[in-house]
Amino acid sequence: MRSRDGDRPLTLTICALIFLPHLWADEYIISYRAVVRDAIIVDEKLNVSRAMQKCEGRHTTSILLETGGSDDLHQIIAREHDTFFSLMQQSALHIDHHEKNIDATNQSHTILTMPPQCFTVDINQDLAKITALK
């Protein structure tokens, strides 16, 4: 039942902010690659760019990251690397691992790769909501 003081527009606005944020979110293409040799990260690269075309797919998992007052998605992800890495593991992370044993010496070589994937990103003052698309 609606109250008599006319709070219906406020209620509709709040519902729109909660349930429809992906309509106003920006779309980014994010890829990641890390090379690990003998348990030491040798090379790590995170690529972040705006999508030039509309991404197709359905929204899957989401995470919330603190922005720290920054608008730059690359900085936000670098600051909250562990949380974003858990989202990457759920989406499409490929692992290529090789191990050698020569004269009682163990050598390992691992490549972690997340191919370019589309994410919707909604950055507010305090939080950034990142949602993977599949």
Domain ranges of the chain: 24-133
pLDDT at 17: 45
C-alpha dist (Å) from residue 24 to 70, 82, 129: 19, 26, 12
Query: Which of 57-61, 89-93, 122-126, 128-132 has the largest mean confidence?
Result: 128-132
What confidence category does residue 43 fall into, taking pLDDT thresholds of 50, 70 and 90? very high
pLDDT at 4: 55
- Report the C-alpha dihedral over residues 57, 73, 114, 36, rounded to 10 degrees: -170
Work out the percent of the chain whose per-residue pLDDT is above 90. 34
Is the pTM higher than 0.75? The answer reads no
Q: How far, in Å, CA of 131 to CA of 69, rounded? A: 20
| Residue 118 near residue 29 (C-beta atoms within 8 A) | yes
| Residue 63 near residue 87 (C-beta atoms within 8 A) | yes
Q: What is the rounded radius of gyration, in angstroms, for the C-alpha atoms of the chain?
A: 20
Tokens 């909501």 identify what position?
129
